[in-house]
Structure 1
Amino acid sequence: MEVFLQLMVSGLLLGGIYALISIGLNLIFGVIKIVNLAHGDFLMMSMYATYWLFTLYRINPYLSIPLVFILAIISGIIVHLIIIKPLLGKAETEVNTILATAGLGFVFQNLALMLWKSDYRAIETSITGKSYNFLGIMISSGRFWAFIVVIAVALILYYILMNTKLGLYIRAVSQDSDAAILMGINVSKIYLFTFGLGVGLVGIAASIITPIFYVFPTVGLYFTTISFVIVVLGGLGSFVGALIGGLIIGFVESVAGVLANAELAQCFSLLIFLIILFVKPEGIMGKGARV
């Protein structure tokens, strides 16, 4: 029983981190209806930003969250204005944006490789390697505080989406952009804000996972795969679905990592993903789910 509780707690903590990474991707898809294949590479670049802020200026990763968040939003806005916006509303928008973001991801990877080589980098903070003992259950301090940040960000984002005028506009555009235009909503600005926010959320995720994961030029590929599994598993466009999907995948990987090995953990996640899609193809939260 104690082992099961240990696995459950570890899985939930890991799943929360996965969920935060996936929420940005799901938000962008739910509102703008594009697939951002550079999602994990935005995360990778933000992880490098966190790493260098700590290495050069000794800024704790948790204290660097606001700065990395702002830098990520700015980069997302620039990418949207230069690459994404010109493709929206054109023929084969979906295909073109997939190709464009995939190409952007390769640019980010090769830029990182050119600037910082292929070395695996890590940082050590005051909580690195430490754990908390709660009723006999060992909780990784890094994952615990990362999970606290995830909960805070999720609550703030949910409040914005459900209780503010901006959130109302975002939900309106996600449901029917043409109707939103007729209601006087500036859809172009909502697209810009949403893409910037989606990338900004990745920046927050990067700051909290840099003390936990290694940083290297292709680390984003792994998180891109996990994010797409979670997004489709939870239901495309669903905020709550991304949270649930992230927790499921985190729990499955924790259990599989103990029963089998770390290399097979992702295979188990994909297996659960396929089973749920076979039973419920539209994902956990249902087809066309929003928020």
Structure 2
Amino acid sequence: MDGVAVTAFFQTLVQGLLTGGLYALIGVGLSLIFGVMNVINFAHGDFLAIGMFISLALFRAVGLDPYLSLLVAAPAGFALGFVIQRFVLSRLGDRLHEGSMLATLGLGLIISNSLLLGFGAQPQNINVAYATKTVQFAGVQVSIPLLVAGLGTLAVIAALNALLYRTELGRAIRATAQNPLGAELQGVKTSTIQAIVFGLGVAFAAIAGVLLMPLLYAYPTVGENYTTKAFIVTVLGGLGNLPGAVVGGLVLGTIESLGAFYINNNYRDAYGLVAFLLVLLLKPEGLFGRTVKRV
């Protein structure tokens, strides 16, 4: 490979890893919810869309920089997720695992149609000065919004890790995930923990939406594609496995980026689906999942 080809390869690789970081953030939220509550959230991408439109609305209303809108979108996402778990999912009782699928599908439809009524069907974006600017590292050009998104994702995942392993709340979350009954016997209010976890999952999706806003157009059904990507990421890493979700996101972003550059950009999403199917066929428990033997 000549110098130009090597530079092109590394530039494509870096872009793929940074994009994969965002996929990881989306997947971590979904994986956290599944790992603690055993609930599959089919509205996950729609919560990401909410983050995008919060950023868009604040920019148009008061000129707030999209990244500063994280101060509003993250708490709003957490509050929304907490309320949904408390007043919708918690009422499903013994039907939680089956009913949550229908409930979250319904929530996704409500969210996308509400966004359609409020903002219209046309794709909309935010025009900021740095949207098209790049920085150069060792000859590799990197988009500033993509770099900020990657660094933001790293910070959020590091904060989650600190929460889970260095706080009492994190210990309660891990106990609830491992043995809900045992956690209850130790004084953990698992219903509150589940609401907090669902709130965190929605907050992560909203944060990802804000980080994507300078890069993409927002439209009411934008979340559908990212729900699919979140499932691919969690399956690649193993359902409920948070480190696996991070690796799964990086793998998906890299596969899409390299495939788009070396094969055909029109089939970018298809490359991830092929990887998804291969993992299902060869290692259905995921790259970092554990096989459970049934007796």
TM-score (norm 2): 0.94
- Which residue of 155, 159, 164 corresponds with 1:156? 159
Partner of residue 126 from structure 2, selected from 106, 123, 128: 123
In structure 1, the partner of 2:18 is 13
Structure 1: tracts of 5 or more residues without a match = none
The answer to whether the Cα contact below 8 Å between 1:46 and 1:203 also exists between their aligned partners in 2 is yes
Q: Say which of 99, 102, 117 aligns to 1:114.
A: 117
Residue in structure 2 matched with residue 2 of structure 1 by the alignment: 7
Aligned: 1:168 with 2:193? no
SS of aligned partner of 2:88: helix
How far is 1:261 from its partner?
Answer: 3.0
- Find the partner of 1:25 among 25, 30, 47: 30
Q: Is the 8 A contact 2:89 2:96 kept in 1?
A: no
Q: Which amino acid in 1 is paired with 2:33?
A: I
Q: Who is 1:187 aligned against?
A: 190
Look up the match of 1:56.
Answer: 61
Offset of 1:187 from its aligned partner?
Answer: 0.5
Matched, 1:278 2:262: no
Distance in 2, matches of 1:255 and 1:26, equals 25
CA distance in 1, matches of 2:244, 2:129: 34
AA partner of residue 226 (structure 1): K
What's the offset of the Cα at 1:223? 0.3
What letter matches 1:65 in structure 2? L
Alignment of 1:257-276 (within 5 A): 257-276=260-279
Instruction: Provide closer, same or farther for how the CA distance between residues 263 and 83 of structure 1 changes in structure 2, counting only shifts above 3 A.
Output: farther
Determine if the alignment matches structure 1 residue 216 to structure 2 residue 234.
Answer: no
1:98 paired to 2:92: no
Q: Is the 8 A contact 1:236 1:288 kept in 2?
A: no
Which TM-score applies when normalising by structure 1? Answer: 0.95
**Partner Cα distance (2:196, 2:81) in 1:** 9
Partner of 1:204: 207
8 Å CA contact 1:235–1:288 kept in 2: the answer is no
Tell whether the 8 Å contact from 1:62 to 1:207 is kept in structure 2 after alignment: yes
Q: Is the 8 A contact 1:237 1:288 kept in 2?
A: no
Q: What RMSD in Å do the two structures reach over aligned CA positions? A: 1.3
Q: 1:186 is matched by which residue type in structure 2?
A: K
**Percentage of pairs with the same residue:** 37
Residues 32 and 191, structure 1, Cα contact 8 Å, conserved in 2: yes
Moved more, 99-108 or 259-268: 259-268
Give how far 1:188 is off.
0.5
Whole-angstrom distance in 1 between the partners of 2:206 and 2:279: 30
1:233 and 1:245 map into 2 onto residues whose CA distance is: 5
Please list the CA deviations of residues 154-178 of structure 1 after superposition, one character each: whole Å capped at 9, or x if unmatched: 1111011111111111111111111
Equivalent residues of 2:83, 2:195 under 8 A apart: no
Task: Output one character per residue of 1:200-229: Cα deviation in whole Å (capped at 9) or x when no partner.
Answer: 111211111111111001000000000000
Deviation at 1:288, TM superposition (A): 7.7
- Which residue of structure 2 lines up, in the alignment, with residue 37 of structure 1? 42
